Amino acid sequence: MAGEESQSTTPAPFNADALAGHIRQEVRGALTEFAQQAQQSQAQQQAVRQQQAYAAQAQRDPIVSQVVEPYVAPALRAVAVQSQAAMDAVLFYNRHPEASRYQQEIEGDFNRMMQAGTPFDRETVYRHWIGANVDRYQKDRHDDVQRTAARGATLGAPGIGRADYLPTLDGETARQMPFEQLEKALEGVKF
C-alpha cells in the first residue's frame, strides 16, 4: 500500500508553457471566430434590410419594378454574392491558416465554381481539394510535424520522448539528487 501512495503522489511531468500557449491560442481562435461570426451576421442583416427596403420601394412604384429593377437587381445580387464570398474568405483562412499554402488551388476551384453558377463555400472546396490531393496533403502535414519536432517543440503530451526531455524537478526529487546532478539540472534556471 505504501508503494501505491508514492506512485500516486509523484506529479506527472508536463510543459506548462506549452499548455498555456495552447490555451491562449484556443481562446484567441474562439474569440476571433465569434467576432467574425458577429460581423458576418451584421453584414447579412444589413443586406436583408437593404433588400427589404428596395422591395418595399419597388412595390410602391410600378416604374421601379418594371423598368429599373430588371437592370439593378442582377447587379445587387452580384454584389451580395461577392460580399459573401469575401466574408467567407476571411473566415476560412482565419480558421484554416494551414490552407494558405494551397490558396492558389482553392481560389481557382472556388472561382471556377462561382463562374459556373454553383458557388460553394471555401470549406467545401478545401475538403474536396484534400480528397483529390490526399497524398500531397498527407506528405505536407507529415513534413510540418517533422519540422516542428526538429525545432524541439513539444508534440502531443509534455514532450516525453524528446531528446531534450527532463523530468519535472520537485522538492523531493531535488533532495534525493546528488549535488552535482542537481547543479546540472538547475543550470540556466532563474528564480
pLDDT digits (tens, 9 = 90+) for 119-129: 788 888 999 99
Question: Quick check: 163 pLDDT over 70?
Answer: no
pLDDT at 3: 47
pLDDT at 167: 56
The DSSP annotation for 77-140 comes to HHHHHHHHHHHHHHHHHHH-GGGGGGHHHHHHHHHHHHHTT----HHHHHHHHHHHTHHHHHHH
Rounded to two decimals, the pTM is 0.46
Q: How far apart are CA 160 and CA 75, in angstroms?
A: 59
Let me know: does 59 contact 65? Beta carbons within 8 Å.
Answer: yes
Let me know: does 36 contact 86? Beta carbons within 8 Å.
Answer: no
Question: Quick check: 6 pLDDT over 50?
Answer: no
For the chain, the average pLDDT equals 76
pLDDT at 177: 81
